[in-house]
Amino acid sequence: MALPKKKKTVVLKWIYKTKYNEDGNVQKYKVRFVAKGYTSQLGVDFTKTFAPIPRMETIKIVLALATQIQLQVFQLIIK
């Protein structure tokens, strides 16, 4: 699918952060995937926003595969 003329894409960016405990040792690594939405203007660049969600069949397949090859699965809540 081609981008319409005179329209620009919203740039996406990975943000990496390392969390340390009181001793200075690495506690965990965190990563976020963000969109630089501040470059878009309502009514000019977009008229609607979309929130993609997976279908239930996709979730079941991923969980079945993770169980079969013994992977850990974590829950993630995005606001």
76 inside domain: no
pLDDT digits (tens, 9 = 90+) for 1-44: 677 777 777 788 888 999 999 999 999 999 888 877 676 676 76
Q: Which position has the higher pLDDT, 58 or 77?
A: 58
Quick check: is 30 in a domain? yes
Residue 59 inside a domain? The answer is yes
Reply yes or no on whether the pLDDT at 45 is more than 70.
Answer: no
**Residue 77 covered by a domain:** no
| Per-residue pLDDT at 20 | 94
- The H or E element that residue 59 is part of is helix 56-68
- Distance between first and last Cα of the chain: 28
Task: Judge whether 45 lies within some domain.
Answer: yes
Range of the domain at 35: 12-68
The pLDDT of residue 51 is above 80? no
**Total domain count, the chain:** 1
